[in-house]
Amino acid sequence: MIGKKNHTVGKLVFVKAGLFTTIQDKGRLNLVDKGIPLSGPMDEEAFHLANLLVRKDPGAACLEIYMGNINLYFTESCQIVCTGANAKIEVDSKVYATNEIINVSAYSRLNIFPFSQGQWLYMAINGTFTSEKVLGSQSFYPKITPLAKFSDSDILIYSSSPTPIPSDFAKIKTKNLPQMIFVPAYRGPSFSSLNKKQQFTLTNTSFTLSTIQNRMGIHLIEKLKHELPELISSPVYPGTVQLTHAGKIIILMKDAQVTGGYHRILQLSARGISRLAQLRPLSNFKFKLIE
Amino acid sequence: MKYPVHIFSQGPKIIELNWPEIISEDILIEIIVLKNRIENKWHLYIASIYHSYQVLSIQLKEGAPTAEFIVWVESAIQQPLQSQHLPQRWIWTVPVCYDPELVPSQSKYLEEKNMDLETLVALHTSQSLLLYFYGFLPGFMYLGGLPEPLHIARKKIPDRKISQGSVAIGGSQTGIYPVDSPGGWYVVGKTPIAIFENGKINLPFNPGDKVQFAAISPQRYTEIQEGSIHDWEKKSYGG
């Protein structure tokens, strides 16, 4: 007879919740036809990796943490892993890196320092973060879920799996960001309406992320002057590169609205969205056309 | 299909069907019929399917047979419209209170238009409006058919907050704000029906249906707001 081991239910307490900490799962794909934004992780690749490392379904709910500077504790011991941005994670004055399983004992203080590279970090748990599912998803979204983000002293209920993950498996190396980032993209519907020079500028010159960015979208600094006519609204997606009438370039991210009236000049691939999400304001990158 | 339809792919997973850039009920009907045919046949491979005025967007799941799908769609758009794929359509009554005490900001619209309240209410409830699609905000309806005398240029400086339930007019469009949002439209009324409540979405209307605004008293507004589940009034619509 094998006794059935039970999950332990505990509380995660945010002492310092940081600038923008939310729960993200795979989002609300089934409700885009009602105008509900998709949501989901800004860096999907890092999110999948986090779940993979704790042997969870790739779309399971994780904490998404922006820029770090977080302090929290768990009331029951558990195992976690952090992926995405490069960060130093300290538990009881022992320092860990991303991509490694961390055993956290009850009431130990967990510090995530300001990130050294990247912007978004995912914390997955060997267990489950059990926040309310609204319209089929745990992803936070203002006005849809009770919380838009976590604040200091907020509490999140979790259950910890009774089956520990052994820590002796091969470690996945934390990667450094290269000097020049290429963001892969497909041609958007309005790409062919741009003239050859505009197309060349878009796909061969370097662009800069502005400070105007959030989970809905990222504005670029460089403008692309054009004389395209105005349009009626069409569907837009995370990764749609919009060109406004005034020539401003806006790249839509996970919380973007589902339709928009601007020209759609490029569409980032899933990898392109993940890459762009980790770039900080004033970073440079080039779009790389996927043929 | 009566109109020429072009297929445009953005990578292997986003496929769009483009009708001419016109806002018309005919095109909407063709889109709805084709959308239903596609859903019937390909639902296992579809991650999401939705549309705007003249673009039908299909996002395929990982591992979907994209090439086979496109070949099927190419042939489907050549075939005449099959009305058995057109769902039952409805005209839904949406109660709106136009009382100036409940909606004080309405005066800005009336002043700008030099219109009296009776005329506003009579025109705004004079005909049912066609639901083209949802977008802009969660649950926001793009409605067509607002009478021309009600059109008004959008505010140059958008208001910081238009509250949930506001019925507003901007340009040639009118709609309900399902959630609080900044916006450049003029608020003319309020609906007591909560579109988002307790984690549920209360939007029985589908694209192709129509919405008929009906004026209600402040007393009725409060009754509906305090009531539990709203009993929607609807009648069938033949197009």
A63-91 residue pLDDT tens: 999 999 999 999 999 999 999 999 999 99
B138 with A36: Cβ contact below 8 A: yes
Which H or E element spans position B42? helix B25-42
φ/ψ (deg, to 5) at B98: -105, 15
Q: Which residues pair with A142 in a beta bridge?
A: none
φ/ψ (deg, to 5) at A176: -90, 145
- CA-based nearest residue in chain A for residue B47: A29
pLDDT at A38: 96
Selecting from A187, A232, A235 the residue whose C-beta is nearest the C-beta of B50 gives A235
Which positions in chain A touch B21 (Cβ < 8 Å)? 231-232
| Mean pLDDT on B42-56 | 96
**Burial state string for A163-177 with b = 16 or more CB within 10 A and e = fewer than 16:** eeeeeeeeeeebeee
A186 with B133: Cβ contact below 8 A: no
A237 with B140: Cβ contact below 8 A: no
pLDDT at A233: 92
pLDDT at B238: 86
Cβ A41 vs Cβ A47: under 8 Å: yes
Q: Pull the structure tokens for residue B9.
A: 């792919």
Query: In the predicted model, is pLDDT for residue A103 greater than 90?
Result: yes
CA–CA separation, A80 and A108 (whole Å)? 13
Which positions in chain B touch A258 (Cβ < 8 Å)? 50, 134-135
CA–CA separation, A123 and A253 (whole Å)? 20
| Mean pLDDT on B212-223 | 97
CB pairs under 8 A between A and B: 99
| Mean pLDDT on A103-120 | 96
Domain A181-289 has CATH 2.40.100.10: yes
pLDDT at A167: 73
The residue whose two tokens read 């609080």 is B180
Helix axis angle for B117-124 and B106-113, nearest 10°, is 100
| pLDDT grade for B185, boundaries at 50, 70 and 90 | very high
Q: Pull the structure tokens for residue B124.
A: 């705004």
Selecting from A144, A189, A231 the residue whose C-beta is nearest the C-beta of B8 gives A189
| pLDDT grade for B199, boundaries at 50, 70 and 90 | confident
- How far out from the chain centre does Cα A13 lie? 22
Which positions in chain A touch B32 (Cβ < 8 Å)? none
| Mean pLDDT on B8-25 | 96
Residue B91 CB: number of other CB atoms within 10 A?
17
The residue whose two tokens read 């795979």 is A26
Helix axis angle for B66-76 and B25-42, nearest 10°, is 140
A29 with B137: Cβ contact below 8 A: no
Domains and CATH numbers, chain B: 6-85 (3.30.1360.40), 89-237 (2.40.100.10)
Q: Which residues pair with A225 in a beta bridge?
A: none
B10 with A267: Cβ contact below 8 A: yes
B49 part of contact set with chain A, CB < 8 Å: yes
Query: In the predicted model, is pLDDT for residue B205 greater than 80?
Result: yes
pLDDT at A3: 47
| Mean pLDDT on B94-118 | 97
Which part of chain A has CATH 2.40.100.10?
Answer: 181-289
Tell me how close the Cα of A290 comes to any Cα of chain B, in angstroms: 8
B202 part of contact set with chain A, CB < 8 Å: no
Query: In the predicted model, is pLDDT for residue B155 greater than 60?
Result: yes
User: Over pLDDT 70: what percentage of chain B?
Assistant: 100
Give the strand pairing for A217-223 and B14-18. unpaired
Per-residue pLDDT tens digits for B78-105: 988 877 778 899 999 999 999 999 999 9
Per-residue pLDDT tens digits for A86-102: 999 999 989 999 999 99
State the best of B9, B35, B48, B179 to mutate against chain A, taking most chain A CBs within 10 Å.
Answer: B48
Which positions in chain A touch B143 (Cβ < 8 Å)? none
Closest of B67, B13, B65 to residue A270, by C-alpha: B13
B199 with A134: Cβ contact below 8 A: yes
| pLDDT grade for B231, boundaries at 50, 70 and 90 | confident
φ/ψ (deg, to 5) at A237: -135, 165
Higher pLDDT, A170 or A99: A99
Closest of B164, B167, B36 to residue A33, by C-alpha: B36
| Mean pLDDT on A121-141 | 96
| pLDDT grade for A226, boundaries at 50, 70 and 90 | very high
Q: Pull the structure tokens for residue B2.
A: 């009566």
Query: In the predicted model, is pLDDT for residue A1 greater than 70?
Result: no
Tell me how close the Cα of B82 comes to any Cα of chain A, in angstroms: 22
Query: In the predicted model, is pLDDT for residue A267 greater than 60?
Result: yes
CA–CA separation, B33 and B50 (whole Å)? 12
Tell me how close the Cα of B118 comes to any Cα of chain A, in angstroms: 32
B139 with A259: Cβ contact below 8 A: no
User: Over pLDDT 70: what percentage of chain A?
Assistant: 95
A153 part of contact set with chain B, CB < 8 Å: no
Per-residue pLDDT tens digits for A175-219: 666 667 999 999 999 999 999 999 999 999 999 999 999 999 999
| Mean pLDDT on B49-69 | 96
Q: Pull the structure tokens for residue B223.
A: 């009754």
- CA-based nearest residue in chain B for residue A289: B11
pLDDT at A177: 66
CA–CA separation, A213 and A273 (whole Å)? 13
Query: In the predicted model, is pLDDT for residue B172 greater than 80?
Result: yes
What's the first-to-final CA gap in chain A, in angstroms?
Answer: 58
Burial class (CB in 10 A: 0-12, 13-18, 19+), A200: exposed
- CA-based nearest residue in chain B for residue A29: B48
pLDDT at B229: 76
pLDDT at B211: 97
pLDDT at A169: 62
pLDDT at A4: 57
Average pLDDT, chain A: 94
B87 vs A247, B132, B170, B239, CA distance in Å? 41, 15, 30, 11
Average pLDDT, chain B: 94
